[in-house]
Structure formats: C-alpha cells, structure tokens
Structure 1
C-alpha cells in the first residue's frame, strides 16, 4: 500500500520548500511539490523532483568504514558501529588528555538546514570543550552590513513584492537560488512594472529582466553611492522621512557630492549616463524594492557594500510603503524556536579556541602561533569542495597525525581523507523543525522511512558518541522526536500569533506562515535607521575597496541551477546536463588572450593553477571571470577546483568569506 506524506526540503535555499513524497513504507517512489506550502505553493526545483534517486542511490554509504588505503585514496573496509565509536572516542580521550579541547575541531555547514539535525553537534562539542567553529561561509557580511543599518528590523518577505512598482535585482541569481520568487518577476513584468538586473555575471538572469547592467566585481558600493548622489541632486531623496526616521542623515548627505556618476564610472565600469538613468527610474518609483543577493557581500568590502545598498533602499522613503524597501536579508518578526534548547551553550565551561570556517586550511596546518588541530569531525559539509584555499586544506588533511572522522552519505572529496567514515541519513529518515531564512514560515517534518542500511542521523550519532565519552546529561538521552516536541513547547515570538489550526499543522507535520514584519518598526538601539552607526569600525559609510590582487581578471563564483554547492554530485542526470568545469569570459577579454569558446584554459594566481573549459558570453562584465557551481575533484584534470584559487582573507565586518574577491590570469592550456 502506498501513501503520500508531507516533508520539507532540507537544503540551503531561502524557501525550505514543502514536498509530498509517495512511499510504500520502505522506499520513496515519487516526489512533488506540496501545493499547501504557503511560500513555494508546489513549485520545486528539478533537483528535488529526483530526490528519491539520491536517497536510494547505489553509491550511498550504508555502513561505518575504516580507512585502509592512503589518505585521499578512498579505500575503506566496513566496521561495526561499536568499533567505529570505540575508535573515535578512544582517540578523542587521548587527545583531550594530552592537548585539551582546543585540539579537536567540529566542522559543519549547510548540508542540512533544519534546527535539530543541523545544530545538535554544538551541544556535544560544547560539553567536550572543543573548538568553536565560526560559521560565516555564506552571507554573514551581508547580515552584518544590513544589521549595521537596520538592526533586527525585518525586511520584505518575497510575497510582499507583489506591491512593489519597480524591482531592482542586485547580485541575485534568482533562477538558481530563489526559483520560488521567479513568478514575482514574471507577474510584475506582465503588469507593466520594470525589472532591472545589476550583475557581474548575468548569464542566467538577463532573459528574465527588462534591463541588465554589468558591473565590475566588488564595486557595487560605488554604484549605490552614485545613485544616492543623483537622488539628492534631483530632489528625489525623502528628506523629511530621513530627518524623522534616521540617525546621521545630515552628515552623510554632506559626503554625497563627491560620489558623482562620472566618479563611479571609473570604478564600476558602468557609463555615467546609465547610472543617471537608473537612479532616476529608481527615485521616481513610489514602492521600489531591491532584491539583494549574497554575491556582492563576498568581498573584503562586503559589509560596507551592503550598508550602502541598504541605505539606498531607504533613501526615497520606500520602507514606509507596501512593497518598498529591501528583500533578501532577515525577514519576519523574530525567531520561531529557541535553538539554545538544541545547541546548549550552557554546557560550555570554558571559552576555548575559535576557528573561522573560511580558515580551515590555517587550522589544519597551524598558523599565527596556533598549533595545528589534532582531530577534525566533519558533518553536513564538504570543505574540500567548498572552503577557500583547497590545496592547503588537502595538504592539512594529508597529515598522518590528524585523526579525521566524516559523517556522510556519499564518497565526497572530503570523505576520501577520513580515517573513520560514518553513514548518514537523508531528511526523510529523521524528524525535525525547519525555519526558512528567506520567508516568514516555520514547519515540522516527521520521519517517513527508517534509515537505510546502518545509517544514523546526526542526533543519534551524537547520542552514541556522548554515551561512549561518559557524558551523563539528560539531554543526550532524549530522542529526536522528543526534541521536536520540546521545541514546539517553547515557541519564539514568530509563533506568538499561531492559531489552533496552525498548531495542529505543526503537530502533524507541515508548514505555516508567520507574520510579516512591520517595516517601520525599526529594531535598532535608537528605533531609527542607522545611516551613521557609532558602533561600527567606520561609523560614516563611504566607498571602500575590495581586497583585489595583482592579476588582471576578477574571479567570481556563481551558483549553478543543476547542483547546490557540492550537493547532488551523485546524480548523473544533473551533472551531465551541467557539463564540464566552465570559466565564463567576456569575448573581448578572451580575444586578447587568444582563447576561443570551448578551449581548455588554465586560470592561475599565487595559490594554484586550475583547468577549465572556456565559455565566452557577453553577459559577464569586462575584466571578470565567472565559474558556476562546485564540482568533484575527479572531474578536474589537476584535481583542483575553483576554491583552490580563493584566499582565506575575511570581509570587513561579519568575518565572512571573500570567495568573490580574488584575481587570476587565464591562458590557453596547450596540451600536447
């Protein structure tokens, strides 16, 4: 007998889409979108339509394994869970007694985006006193820049964009990362509203917009300042609104005369008349909305850039009108669940060493007077494919004295370096709560299938490890089902107005809408927009430069619609359509280097040389080189991926990745 059950997509997208899975109790037979989901309305990506192919893949890891080959070779033999847990905890006890908790590093990111399974390792490693991982791999500079201006004020939920009368898609490849918001662009254009794109690589999004402006990577702040210069000069800034609702406007206004469109042209590569026209169109709209992606924040000046774009979103008073303001940061009125119930910061008795996720290579190899870590525990992540400085990361993972444990579903590039490999579950094999980070929704999903083979969830694996470490706290005796109940029993402000019917949905499994924020209720210390923020390293916003580098082309990493970070690489239906590792270049940049479309090329800088296939397109800014998606090392001639060309430098605020802030030169790869 088959039945349809509700579940939720666990992956790193803003929507946390609702899914319906058809099951016979042992397998998932079909996957489709849940039409009842309040944000996705049944629209899901091609990746999740084939989710069952991943869950039941013949290449899935189903048993614990011990390495028998050299590190990186990928040769393992099966062992029992008892043997694996005994070996892991035995090694950890030795390391703790010899070197202390600062020698053990947990490493996870966005392999699963739920509350319990994603965050439960924090409690275990807090109890151990291990290193704390600073998790700033994606968009923390964007969050820090937005918060520097708006505090905890909720921005626009994408469902509010139907009220906007002009849409500025700024550095957001919505086709790959916000597919559920694409119908908003379509209906806006059908209603005669203009949609304009600002991008360094517009290959995916240009067909869905009325106009496209190509910008040099890392210079978005200069464009925002030049637009504000025009708005003030033309009397389109809402001066009364700004005097009443912001702090620091008069001082900031005095800085704007210097930021002319002609000044900006020298930095951004955008002709001054194009900036003038864009600013006028934006300023004349009553309810303009900026849909801001994370790409513009992944630079050394990323936080400042987002501050400037956020100030621009408020300059015409748009935040006071329905559909006006900014979309793409923190929506909603506050958390729905108290995640400290899961993370248990109270278990930590000493502060301990902090390791930034973007500087894993430094932690593995020892730098800045710090000893190299002695043990790495990886879950929900594939750092070899996704973290800066790949060659240095691999060098660290090759250390014979490093004890590495990886909890994974497939033989990822990171898993190949494990000493012990543990088999992990899929979302349908575990219960959890899900908070979307791009929409005001909250949901629960219960177990649909028993875990395949000997696979265990993060929660149940940490329970086993805690028992073997001798941790007696009641927390480690709870079930994952019990944790869902506990989270629902301690709701946050986001669930304060949930109705009895909505609580019934959460208790049975499903997703509800939570209230949209009041966008004029500014949740800052002053209750106003902080144009000037005395708490910032630079209180007065200004144009700052990215890190850059000595090579002529600015390298940017862009998302792929076929895969998600390094997830779905096991699916040949997706990777086959995506094709080889491509480097997108503007035809004029390629011509000067004697590079033709489809040629094999080498991109290189002071870190590495990586082979790509050239793809020539007018939709990449002059002076930029763009690479879409994360690949596996086996698909690269040298075994190196685009992240081998990324430095470990951090952003100005938010300690974030600067993966778009690197320079390269490109030459033909003359193979003989």
Structure 2
C-alpha cells in the first residue's frame, strides 16, 4: 500500500511507480486558479490541501476547492455512455458501450456533413475546464472536419475590447503590486464571493493603511471593507467621464505622462466637458461630496489601482463603461493602474488548436444569441463539452426550443446529468480534473501550474482529449496531430514559450512556474500609445471616444444576476442543491408593490416569466432587483433567472448584456 503525504520538495520521489503526492490545479473559470497538493491512498483521493509554496495560493482554498472529493465521488456522476430513449428533455436514457456511442456519433458526423455541409456541425464549448490542453486540444478535431464553433462572448469580451482600444491589451497590475497600493478601487467587483485570495489580500492591505473604495450598485461583504459608492446600474461611464472632467478642469492631470504616453487628450477634453458635477450626481445617484472625496483620494493616494469587475461590463453599455474607467489612471500618470484580466501566456495557440488543419473558412456563431441560430436551421449537430448552456445562457425559452428540435443531433460530454445533458441524444461520461493531465494559467496572477493525473477515471469516464482521439480513431482520420498525447502537447507549448521561467521538468518538480511580465510601457495600439481617442475604434463603429450611452428602461425594474458565491457559473449546484433562487428587493419597492418578504412573486418581460421567492433587503436600490445565478433549472422547479435575461449583443466584443435585463412584477 502506498500512502501519499505532503513532504518537502526534495522528497518527491516515486515508490512502485506512484508519486508520494500529486500536484493539481483547480480548473474552474475563477480568478484564483489555486495550486493544490493531493494525497492519494489505495488509488483514491485521501485529501486536498493548498500548495503552500505557491506564492498566490498560499495556505487558502475556497469552499468550492475544499472537500472536493465529494464532487469526484458523487453517486450522481455519469459512469457510462448513454443513449436517449425518451423525448428530448425527459432525461430517459439507456447505457451503451463506448464503441457504440462513438460509432453513432461518427455516422452522424459523416451523414450530416454530406447532407448539410460540415459547418452545420457546431463545436459548443466554453470554460468548464480552463486547462490549456483539455480546453483547446479538442478544437483540432473540429478543425479537421470543418465544423462551426460558438464564440465565447458571455463573460468578459466587452471589457477586453475596451482595454485593447485604449492600451492594446488587458494587462494591468499584478496582485503583489496591488497589495502595496495606498488606494484600491473595486469597481463592479465583489471578491468576497468571486476571489477568496483577492479578498484576503484586500484585508491585509487595509490593515497596512490602504484606503479602499467600492463602486457597486449592491451592498455586499466586499463593500464592508471600505467606502461604498452605491451607484445606479449602467451609469458608471457617466461617473468616470465626470471624474475625467473634474481632473481636467482643476488641472490635476499629469501633463508630462500624457504628453509622452498618450494620444487624443485634446479630443477627450471636449467630450468630458459635458459631464459636470451636477449632471453626474443626477445620473449616478451619488452625492457631490462622495464624488469629490473619491477624486481627492484618487489623486493624492499613490500608487493606486482600479480593479475592474466583469459583471459591470455585462450591460448594454458595458464596453463604454470599462473604456471610460480605464482612462482614469493614465490621466494622473499611473501607467496601467488597473486590473481587469492578466493574460501573460505567449503559448502557440495555432499549434494547440491545430489551426493549420482547417481547410475551409470557419463559421462562428455568437453564444449569446445561439437560440436564434438554432431556429435558423443552420445547425444540424451539436457537440457540447465544457459547457451547460441550458442553465448559463440567456433567453432560455428560445434556446430550449432549439435544443428540442428533432433534426438536431446533440452530444453532451459531462460529469453529471445537467439540464443540457437531459436534452442530448448521446451523453458521454467526463473525467474530473483529478483524472487527467493538464497545465493552467491564471487571469489574475502570473504563475503557470501543473495538473497531474491523481487517480484513474471513475467508471468509464474519459477526458476531453481522450474522447476526440477516440472519435478520430473510429472515423479512421489519419491526421497525426489528432493523436498527440496530453503531456507531449504541454511540453511543446512550454518549449515554444518565452514567458515561462523554466522547463517542463521544473514544472513537475515544483508544481508551478513564474511567468514573465511584458514591458507595460509598450502599447500595442495603432499609434503605439495609450489611445484616449481611437481612430481605429471610430472606424469600427465604436466611437473615437468613450461616452455614457444611456440604457433606457423598458420595464419598471432592472434585474442584476451575479453568480452565487458557492458556484462557478452552473458548476457545483448539484453539490449544494439546497441553494434556492431568491430575488432581493428594496423595502421601498416592496411596500409600493405590496410584497411581503418571503412571498412568491412573478417576474415577466418579453422573453418569459419566472416565479421566485422575494425577500426585502437594504442591499439594493429602489428600482433594482438582485438574484444570484447560475442555478440548474431542473433543481429549481424547471426555471432559473436566465429564462428572463436578455440575449442582447453588445457592439463591444459582441458580448452578453445579462445585467441590462428589465422586468415587471405581476
């Protein structure tokens, strides 16, 4: 019997071919990307601990990362391939062999390609795992067969596009730099729920004297850290432009930095002049004293950082808001004095995804309004993995009508019988991250980490990469790139990278490697400067300058739907099935609508209606409703908030606008 214990690095040796402990990485779509040390006993998970040597993970794992064995060994895991026997959505299936499942999938790929063209086969993937190999390697298969793909537009693309316009990339400050700031501004970000390590970092910084502001329409555990500016939803660009105007009028800008590093300041002056203090107070709901105090601290407390959250840019005008906010640090001479998304990897994605294997132009379908695409008869087959669209996407009624279509053959690869799996023709059992190999980067910190295979797959589960190698084999595809092994792919990525400080062998010894930070005084914009005015954005139809684009209400209430603290999108709801949907309303609105706290209400708009428990709260403003997502509809009486969320597509990055959903109470 081999027992794994957490031993000092030099003692990481093999006994009987088994390591004494395993390096893993949490693969969720989360800021922290925690490094884990896993103990294995008799071929089973014994315990998981944070890799305390990892500079960011330290000694902390969040509730989602602790006791993960309950997730891995759940009795609700899918163990064998399944074929649908009842109506779509009924959840009735029979067990079949992998050979039979793969043959049926292969036959449908061949037949549908011949009848409707290969682009009628849709690769439907997202970020269920963020590992580089398991997330991106399967695209090689879809490139070879010529399939179409969904664009990943439900999260952060609007903000990314905005920052690329201004700075040429999303790269801002790193956690160790942020912690040393004298002022930290959390703008639309709630790390108490979304990033446990960031929340701890903020508490340490506060103890050391750092002042913290939180700009957010909702009170939360994060707002208790500092001064809360409870802004009206969708008005953040107006606030930023008002601050810009104040800085300019009061000659508080760093003229030397602006002259050397920016372009378009004169045009910005004219655009910002429209936003005087009276106008922005009326627009945002904030008081003059609140805004002036913030500006005073922003100018005087240096260095400082604005941490920009993702929820804010999931509005109709989300890109405009991020664009305006991101200009503020440049005006006072704080080069890239923001955080949004750290993308340090220089990995060869063309190699990883097999871009050269594609022989025809790729057809892309926006994930946000994919329900409309399914109604257009352009798609005849979907292969869904790393995603649970029948929980996470907006306008669920229209989307489900598409998934119910009898002329669309659907394959789902997952660990559990999600709402999406219930609508599949074939369901394939997937591995957890303890059952396959991968490597990971973070969009917060600057470390690459390894995920070693700790245990054998449960039941007949297969990893993403194994599924598509198996499918390529049964289809007799000869392209050698389809059959590369996971570790070989990872080794190749590291060997080509100039940003990773170390080799693959170093990664296996430590569990993580540092990644170099590029020169942040280099701006990959057309002018090679910070573009306060952008001719390229103007030519693209996005406007040369940021503006406050008013979002007009179509119903009495705006409905915000941030993700629940125990969930990562829809992941883990099965682990916490007692989480029930609740909508929070202000005391004022509850009184006017004659609603008692704890009663059921029905929200309605042009998409659908949703009956849900309503509770009064002093955390929300009048005219605002808040509910936490993304719950599985099948665990909540058949519906979740996404039955009423909008599938509006923004101009910036064609991103989703979940939080610009308007409803009435009936």
* Superposition TM-score, scaled by structure 1 size: 0.93
How many angstroms apart in 2 are the aligned matches of 1:353 and 1:485? Answer: 30
Deviates more, 1:463-472 or 1:9-18: 463-472
How far off is 1:475 after superposition? 1.1
Partner of 1:444: 450
Q: 1:89 aligns with which of 103, 106, 129?
A: 106
Q: 2:180 is matched with which residue: 159, 163, 184? A: 163
Structure 1 residue 546: Cα displacement: 5.3
2:536 is paired with a residue whose SS is coil
Which residue in the other structure is 1:277 paired with? 293
The Cα of 1:174 is off from its aligned counterpart by 0.6
1: CA distance, partners of 2:280 / 2:515? 41
2:354 aligned partner = 344
Cα offset, 1:503, TM superposition? 5.0
Q: CA deviation at 1:271?
A: 2.4
Which of the numbers 327, 333, 347 marks the counterpart of 2:339? 327
Q: 2:264 aligns with which of 229, 248, 270?
A: 248
Residue in 1 aligned with 2:592?
592
Deviation at 1:517?
Answer: 4.0
1:314: Cα distance to partner?
1.5
**Is the 2:323–2:546 contact (alpha carbons within 8 Å) kept by the matching residues of 1?**
no
Q: Distance in 1 between matches of 2:618 and 2:167?
A: 36
Contact 2:491 2:504 in 1 (8 A): no
The 8 Å contact of residues 548 and 663 in structure 1, kept in 2 or not, is answered as no
Instruction: State the 1:23 CA deviation.
Output: 0.9
- Quick check: 7-16 or 24-33, which moved more? 24-33
The residue that corresponds to 1:210 in the other structure is 226
Provide runs of 4+ in structure 1 moved above 6 Å. Answer: none
Asked if the contact 2:82–2:428 (Cα under 8 Å) also holds between the matched residues in 1, the reply is: yes
Q: 1:389 to 1:546 in 2, by over 3 A?
A: farther
| Mean Cα deviation higher: 375-384 or 509-518 | 509-518
**Stretch of structure 1 that moved more, 33-42 or 110-119:** 33-42
Instruction: State the match for 2:606 in structure 1.
Output: 606
1:15 paired residue number = 32
Describe the SS at the equivalent of 1:535. helix
1:116 match: 133
Mapping of 1:615-626 within 5 angstroms?
615-626=615-626
Question: Where does residue 670 of structure 1 map in the other structure?
Answer: none
State the SS of the aligned residue for 1:48: coil
Q: Does 1:381 align with 2:387?
A: yes
1:409 is aligned to 2:383: no
| Aligned residue number for residue 10 of structure 2 | none
**1:418 lines up with 2:428 in the alignment:** no
Matching residue of 1:224: 240
2:17 corresponding residue in structure 1: none
Q: Counterparts in 2 of 1:459-538, with a 5 A limit?
A: 459-491=465-497, 493-495=498-500, 498-499=501-502, 503-508=504-509, 510-536=511-537, 537-538=541-542
Q: CA RMSD in A?
A: 1.7
Distance in 2, Cα, partners of 1:307 & 1:25 = 53
Distance 2:629 2:485 in 1: 36
Deviations 1:405-464 (A, max 9, x none): 000100101000010000000111111111111111112222111111110000010011
Relative to structure 2, which stretch is displaced further, 299-308 or 378-387? 299-308
Secondary structure, in 3 states, of the residue corresponding to 1:404? Answer: strand
Contact 2:169 2:523 in 1 (8 A): yes
Q: Residue 564 of structure 2 corresponds to which residue in structure 1?
A: 560
CA distance in 1, matches of 2:62, 2:470: 35
For residues 204 and 379 of structure 1, the distance between their equivalents in structure 2, rounded to whole angstroms, comes to: 34
Matches within 5 A, 1:95-134: 95-134=112-151
The count of residues paired between Structure 1 and Structure 2 equals 646
Return the alpha-carbon distance in structure 2 between the equivalents of residues 620 and 313 of structure 1.
29
Where does residue 334 of structure 2 map in the other structure? 318
Tell me what 2:94 maps to: 77
Structure 1 runs not aligned, ≥5 long: 668-672
CA contact (8 A) 1:38 1:512 kept: no
**CA shift for structure 1 position 509:** 6.1
Offset at residue 313 of structure 1 (A): 2.2
Equivalence for 2:152: 135
**TM value normalised by structure 2:** 0.94
Q: Does the CA contact (< 8 Å) of 1:298 and 1:658 recur in 2?
A: yes
Cα pair 2:170 2:340 within 8 Å, conserved:
no
Provide the C-alpha distance between the structure 1 equivalents of 2:170 and 2:232, rounded to a whole number of angstroms: 30
Q: Is the 8 A contact 2:542 2:652 kept in 1?
A: no
Distance 2:77 2:592 in 1: 46
Give the deviation of 1:648 after TM superposition. 1.7
Question: For the residues of structure 2 that align with 1:254 and 1:393, how far apart are their CA atoms?
Answer: 44
